[in-house]
Amino acid sequence: MGFLYYGNNSYAVEMDDRPLAHLKVAMLSLLRAGKCMAFTFDRSAELGSGRETLWISPSTEIRFRFLGGRPPRISEPWVRSIIATADSPTGLRMVTEPADAPADTGAPADTHVLTPA
């Protein structure tokens, strides 16, 4: 499990390392392009369930923390699927990995950059 920390580390979103690594590449690719985004995610039952949305801009403080020892390989089709949600009414959302995307065959998460369309 890993964490996305938002705004001075006062708020944390928890998720598995592999999806978090893909979210990191998607978010940082959008932010590098100067884009702002609403990030909508489902809350766990322990936190009361439901959905929550965070506004993220290039000036927002965010930090990614991974608990696993090595970075997963990145699936470009999965990252592109996540980036594609950024312009939707609900904003950027995690989506399931495309079935036709090869799992763990891309570059390691710490070396990957995509240019948003």
The sign of the torsion formed by the CA atoms of 109, 63, 47, 1 equals: positive
Amino acid at 25: V
Q: Is residue 37 part of a domain?
A: yes
φ, ψ at 62 (rounded to 5°)? -130, 150
Q: Are 22 and 16 in contact (CB under 8 A)?
A: no
Residue 58 within any structural domain of the chain? yes
CA neighbours closer than 13 Å in the CB half-sphere of residue 54? 19
Tell me the backbone φ, ψ of residue 76, rounded to 5 degrees.
-60, -40
Is the residue at 73 inside a domain?
yes
- The residues with which 56 forms a beta bridge, in sequence order, are 37
**So what's the pLDDT on residue 36?**
96
> What is the extent of the structural domain holding 33?
2-111
**32 in a structural domain:** yes
Q: Kindly state whether residue 83 falls inside one of the protein's structural domains.
A: yes
Summarised one tens digit per residue, pLDDT across range 85-98 is: 999 998 999 999 98
Tens of pLDDT, residues 1-45: 899 999 887 788 999 999 999 999 999 999 999 999 999 998 877
